Amino acid sequence: MFEISLIPAFKDNYIFVLSAGRRAFVVDPGDAAPVFDHLQAADLALAGILITHHHADHQGGVAALQAATGAEVFAPADESITGRTRPLRGGETIKVLDVPVEVMAVPGHTLGHLAYRAGNALFCGDTLFGAGCGRLFEGTPGQMAASLARLADLPDDTRVYCAHEYTAMNLPFAQAVEPENPAIVARQARVAALRSAGQPTVPLLLAEEKATNPFLRCQVPAVLAVAHRLGAVDGDPVSVFAALRTWRNNF
C-alpha cells in the first residue's frame, strides 16, 4: 500500500499525495504550487493525478503539474477536465503505484463525480464530508442518496479522505437534527480539540460517520421523525434525504 499525506490548499481544501518509494500520485490538485513544494521537499516524482470532479478547486493545478511532469490524468470521462489521459466512468479497477484502485461512480455533487478506493482508503472528493455531504450542483437527491448509500456500505474501518475540512462547520447541523445523539456531542468535543490544535479531522472514520452524519442516518427513527416534520414522505428514503439536504442549505 502507498503512504498518504495531506496538503492543505486554499481556505479549506485538502490535496492528497499518495507515495511509494520516490513515486507519487496526487488527488484533486486544485492548486499546483503547494504540490510542487511538497514533491520537492519529499523528493518525489509525480507519476499520476486522480480527479474526482471538474470543479476548479479540484483540478486547477492539473495543467501546470502535467506540463512539468507528464503525469497521467485519471478523471471523469463525462466532465470537462484539463489534460485527461484516462477517462473513467466508475466500475473500472486502475493501478496506482502498483496498488489496485476501485473507481466508483458517485453522482450527485456533479454528474460524473468519481470516488477512488484503495484498501481501506476512500477518496471521495465532495460527496461525503465529516458530518455532512456535498451540495447537489448537478445531480438529483435520488442520485446523491444512492451514492452515499454505496459509500455507507463500505467496511466500518474505511478511512474517508474527503476534499474539504468541513467537519466542525457541519456538526451543529447534525446536532440540530439529532439533539439526543451522544455520539454527536462527543464528536463535537473531539473535533474542537483537533481544530484548535491545528490538526485535520480528515481522514474520517466511516463508522463514526454512520454514527453521527445525518445524511448517512436517513433510516434512523429520530432522523425520520425530523424529516417527516420537514415534509418527507413515509417510506421514501430519497424524500428524507432531500428534506435534510434542503434544511442544511438554509441552516
For 109-201, list the strands marked E by DSSP. Answer: 114-118, 121-125, 128-129, 132-133, 159-162
Look at residue 54 and give the partner it binds from Zn ion, Fe ion, none, a contact being a CB closer than 5 to 8 Å depending on partner kind: none
The strand pairing partners of 18, in sequence order, are 4, 25
Q: Which long-range contacts (CB under 8 A, 24 or more apart) does 235-243 make?
A: 237/145, 238/141, 238/142, 238/145, 239/141, 241/141, 241/144, 241/145, 241/148, 241/215, 242/141, 242/145
- Are the beta carbons of 42 and 26 closer than 8 angstroms? no
Stretch that binds Zn ion, among 120-128, 168-176, 177-185, 235-243 (CB under 5 A): 120-128
Reply yes or no on whether 113 is catalytic: no
**Alpha carbons 133 and 177: distance in angstroms, whole number:** 14
Q: Which of 38, 53, 54, 113 is catalytic?
A: 53
Stretch that binds Zn ion, among 4-12, 27-35, 119-127, 151-159 (CB under 5 A): 119-127
126 lies in the site for Zn ion, by CB under 5 A: yes
**Cβ closest to Fe ion, residue 57 vs residue 208:** 57
* Three cell numbers, residue 90: 466508475
Look at residue 245 and give the partner it binds from Zn ion, Fe ion, none, a contact being a CB closer than 5 to 8 Å depending on partner kind: none
**Cβ closest to Fe ion, residue 57 vs residue 209:** 57
The strand pairing partners of 19, in sequence order, are 3, 24
Using CB under 5 A as the binding rule, the residues of this chain from 43 to 82 that contact Fe ion are: 57
Least separation in angstroms between CB 205 and Zn ion = 23
Least separation in angstroms between CB 134 and Zn ion = 6
Q: How many Cβ atoms are within 10 Å of 117's Cβ, its own excluded?
A: 18
Least separation in angstroms between CB 150 and Zn ion = 18
Look at residue 72 and give the partner it binds from Fe ion, Zn ion, none, a contact being a CB closer than 5 to 8 Å depending on partner kind: none
Q: Which of 31, 38, 54, 55 is catalytic?
A: 55
Reply yes or no on whether 58 is catalytic: yes
Residue 203: is the preceding peptide bond cis (ω within 30°)? yes
Reply yes or no on whether 153 is catalytic: no
Q: Which parts of this chain interact with Zn ion (CB under 5 A)?
A: 55, 126
- Give me the residues that bind Fe ion (CB under 5 A), please: 57, 126
Query: Where in the sequence numbering do the catalytic residues fall?
Result: 53, 55, 57-58, 109, 126, 164
